[in-house]
């Protein structure tokens, strides 16, 4: 007897002759409006079960740097500028690159978990550690020479020198990133989001107290800021490792293995493709943060977790051989993301003359932000839908193809158009922003077209082949 609570889309092989109809080579279930609504609610529950804790975790981790900057403001203007510059430019670049490279695990761990090949998750995480720690070693050169780099891009010499010194102090955080991102993807693939949220909340509370104690009470200044920020990130890493090593993940972690060093080149290639793909998306957000409203854009970016976590659902279902469930999850997350973006945009638009007052006392700045608010609203809606399809790409393992799409849309089309409108045609900030937005729109349309033409049964088969390729070594080892 079938379970009445089992999602309809997971009953893919048990329909009778009247349950399914052929549709362009794929099998589509016919549902009533009531069945569709129930299935939509089930998928939404799964999505928010992952996305809710992910949003909370992301906010806690973002707040670590923000709190450090807030306390640095009490030390002096130079200290605030130095910490902000390191946090946004030096650490921000490293964060985006390592996060992108770690996103390769979202495909492999997600599909392996969906297929029940839990033994491979720990191997994938260890391979990613090898690659990201090596990348961090290379990026540490960027930290060592941060001062001349900041001067090269036009930063004030005093600020560049102070930020460069603070960057040296923050090298331990760089390696914390390298260890953390594979752990994050490893746990997300297993839907272990609540443990991450609990650890992040404890880290935030400790970080706030010790930042006050060390920076203000003990007057350690920027050295204290570095000690506490490095310590907070390593607390998160160590706490999550203890959680994993204590057996909480079962078969997903069976200890360290030399197999982590096998087939590294293929893993490097997938990691680089993931980094290029994600860093292009981060570029679009960074431009809006720079020329739009920081606060509103940051809020929208945290809602990005709703869509970013969606690739876990896609990869899980493809790995489990449930192509229709993966396809339906796209419908759910697109609808959810559009509603979130639209509601936020309408709130900003309705209060465009009021909400800027909370962040600045300058009438000139308030008027500019109010004038740019309609463009910000459009950007939020577009950028709330676009990452959904990027998430589909990661979940399905299309990183290489989408990386080329992103490069073309941003570097060949969006950025040149923005520079042309902004400087050549004298549209200023609006011109630059419209150019970047146009690049995002083109990218979104291409990704929608790719997703619409996807044969999900074929993608499920490809996921199975991918797992055989990447998991063959473990299978052979187990047979031996």
Residue 169 has pLDDT above 90, yes or no: yes
Residue 24 has pLDDT above 60, yes or no: no
Phi, psi of 145 (to 5 degrees): -105, 30
Q: For residue range 297-351, what is the model confidence (pLDDT) as tens digits?
A: 444 444 445 555 555 666 666 666 666 776 677 777 778 778 888 888 888 888 8
> What pLDDT sits at residue 144?
95
> What pLDDT sits at residue 27?
41
Q: Which of 115-119, 204-208, 280-284, 465-469 has the highest mean pLDDT?
A: 204-208
Residue 121 has pLDDT above 80, yes or no: yes
Give the whole-number percent of the chain exceeding pLDDT 70. Answer: 73
Q: How far apart are CA 103 and CA 90, in angstroms?
A: 20
- Mean pLDDT of the region 162-185: 95
Tell me how many degrees the CA angle 411-415-421 measures, rounded to the nearest 5.
150
- For residue 58, name the pLDDT band (cuts at 50, 70, 90): confident
Angle between helix axes 456-479 and 310-319 (nearest 10 degrees) is 70
> What pLDDT sits at residue 19?
33
> What pLDDT sits at residue 376?
80
- Mean pLDDT of the region 46-72: 83
Task: Identify the residue whose tokens are 């979130």.
Answer: 340
Contact (CB, 8 A) for 182 and 129: yes
What is the chain's mean pLDDT, rounded?
77
> What pLDDT sits at residue 20?
32
Contact (CB, 8 A) for 99 and 182: no
Q: For residue range 61-90, what is the model confidence (pLDDT) as tens digits?
A: 888 988 998 898 888 888 888 998 888 788
Residue 8 has pLDDT above 90, yes or no: no
Q: How far apart are CA 343 and CA 444, in angstroms?
A: 20
Residue 190 has pLDDT above 90, yes or no: no
Angle between helix axes 193-211 and 33-73 (nearest 10 degrees) is 20
Residue 122 has pLDDT above 80, yes or no: yes
Residue 45 has pLDDT above 90, yes or no: no
> What pLDDT sits at residue 298?
45
- For residue 21, name the pLDDT band (cuts at 50, 70, 90): very low
For residue 21, what are the β-bridge partners? 28
One-letter-per-residue 3-state SS of 266-311:
HHHHHHHHHHHHHHHHHHHHHHHHHHCCHHHHHHHHHHHHHHHCHH
More confident residue, 103 or 200: 200
> What pLDDT sits at residue 361?
61
> What pLDDT sits at residue 309?
56
> What pLDDT sits at residue 478?
46
> What pLDDT sits at residue 459?
62
Q: How far apart are CA 191 and CA 203, in angstroms?
A: 21
One-letter-per-residue 3-state SS of the chain:
CCCCCCCHHHCCCCCCCCCEEEECCEEEECCCHHHHHHHHHHHHHHHHHHHHHHHHHHHHHHHHHHHHHHHHHCCCHHHHHHHHHHHHHHHHHHHHHHHHHHCHHHHHHHHHHHCCCCHHHHHHHHHHHHHHHHHHHHHHHHHHCHHHHHHHCCCCHHHHHHHHHHHHHCHHHHHHHHHHHHHHHHHHHCCCHHHHHHHHHHHHHHHHHHHHHHHHHCCCHHHHHHHHHHHHHHHHHHHHHHHHHHHHCHHHCCCCCHHHHCCHHHHHHHHHHHHHHHHHHHHHHHHHHHHCCHHHHHHHHHHHHHHHCHHHHHHHHHHCCCHHHHHHHHHHHHHHHHHHHHHHHHHHHHCCCCHHHHCCCCHHHHHHHHHHHHHHHHHHHHHHHHHHHHHHHHHHCCHHHHHHHHHHHHHHHHHHHHHHHHHHCCCHHHHHHHHHHHHHHHHHHHHHHHHHCCCHHHHHHHHHHHHHHHHHHHHHHHHC
Of the candidates 283, 297, 301, the one whose C-alpha atom is nearest the C-alpha of residue 415 is 283
Q: Which residues contact 68 (CB under 8 A, 6 or more apart)?
A: 83, 87, 207, 211, 225, 228, 229
For residue 23, what are the β-bridge partners? 26
Q: Which residues contact 408 (CB under 8 A, 6 or more apart)?
A: none
- Mean pLDDT of the region 245-259: 88
More confident residue, 116 or 177: 177
> What pLDDT sits at residue 11?
38
Q: For residue range 379-429, what is the model confidence (pLDDT) as tens digits?
A: 878 877 777 777 666 655 666 677 788 778 877 898 889 889 888 888 887
> What pLDDT sits at residue 402?
75
Give the whole-number percent of the chain exceeding pLDDT 90. Answer: 22
> What pLDDT sits at residue 53?
84
Token reading at 365:
């700045």
Q: For residue range 217-244, what is the model confidence (pLDDT) as tens digits?
A: 999 999 999 999 999 999 999 999 999 9
Q: Which of 286-295, 309-318, 443-452 has the highest mean pLDDT?
A: 443-452
> What pLDDT sits at residue 296?
42
> What pLDDT sits at residue 210?
96
Token reading at 227:
């000690």
Range scoring the smallest mean pLDDT among 165-174, 232-241, 280-289, 462-471: 280-289
Q: Which of 100-114, 146-160, 236-250, 449-463 has the highest mean pLDDT?
A: 236-250
Token reading at 84:
């902000």
- Mean pLDDT of the region 27-55: 73
């Amino acid at each position: 007897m079938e379970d009445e609570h089992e999602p309809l889309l997971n009953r893919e092989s048990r329909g009778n002759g009247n349950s399914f109809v052929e549709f362009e080579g794929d099998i589509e279930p016919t549902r009533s409006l009531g069945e569709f609504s129930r299935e939509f609610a089930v998928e939404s529950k799964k999505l928010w079960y992952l996305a809710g804790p992910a949003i909370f975790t992301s906010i806690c981790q973002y707040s670590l740097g923000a709190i450090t900057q807030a306390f640095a403001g009490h030390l002096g203007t130079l200290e605030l500028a130095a910490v902000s510059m390191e946090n946004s430019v030096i650490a921000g670049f490293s964060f985006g690159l390592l996060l992108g490279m770690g996103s390769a695990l979202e495909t492999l761990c997600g599909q392996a978990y969906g297929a029940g090949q839990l033994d491979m998750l720990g191997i994938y995480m260890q391979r990613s550690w090898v690659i990201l720690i090596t990348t961090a070693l290379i990026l540490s050169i960027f930290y060592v020479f941060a001062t001349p780099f900041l001067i090269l891009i036009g930063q004030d010499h005093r600020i560049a020198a102070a930020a460069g010194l603070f960057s040296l102090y923050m090298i331990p955080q760089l390696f914390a990133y390298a260890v953390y991102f594979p752990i994050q993807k490893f746990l997300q693939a297993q839907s272990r989001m609540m443990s991450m949220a609990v650890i992040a909340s404890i880290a935030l509370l400790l970080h706030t107290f010790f930042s006050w104690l060390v920076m203000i009470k003990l007057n350690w200044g920027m050295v204290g800021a570095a000690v506490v920020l490095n310590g907070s990130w390593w607390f998160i890493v160590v706490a999550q490792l203890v959680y994993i090593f204590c057996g909480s993940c079962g078969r997903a972690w069976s200890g360290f293995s030399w197999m982590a060093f096998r087939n590294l080149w293929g893993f490097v290639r997938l990691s680089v493709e993931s980094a290029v793909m994600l860093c292009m998306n981060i570029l679009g957000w960074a431009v809006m943060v720079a020329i739009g409203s920081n606060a509103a854009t940051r809020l929208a970016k945290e809602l990005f977790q709703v869509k970013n976590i969606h690739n876990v659902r896609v990869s899980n279902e493809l790995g489990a051989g449930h192509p229709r469930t993966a396809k339906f999850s796209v419908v759910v997350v697109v609808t959810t993301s559009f509603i979130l973006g639209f509601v936020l945009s309408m709130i900003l638009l309705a209060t465009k003359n009021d909400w800027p007052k909370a962040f600045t006392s300058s009438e000139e700045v308030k008027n500019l932000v109010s004038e740019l608010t309609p463009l910000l609203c459009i950007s939020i809606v577009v950028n709330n839908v676009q990452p959904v399809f990027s998430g589909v790409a990661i979940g399905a393992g299309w990183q290489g193809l989408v990386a080329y799409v992103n490069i073309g849309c941003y570097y060949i089309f969006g950025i040149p158009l923005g520079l042309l409108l902004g400087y050549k045609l004298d549209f200023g900030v609006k011109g630059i922003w419209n150019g970047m937005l146009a690049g995002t729109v083109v990218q979104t349309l291409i990704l929608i077209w790719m997703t619409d033409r996807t044969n999900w049964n074929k993608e499920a088969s490809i996921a199975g082949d991918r797992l055989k390729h990447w998991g063959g070594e473990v299978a052979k080892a187990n047979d031996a």
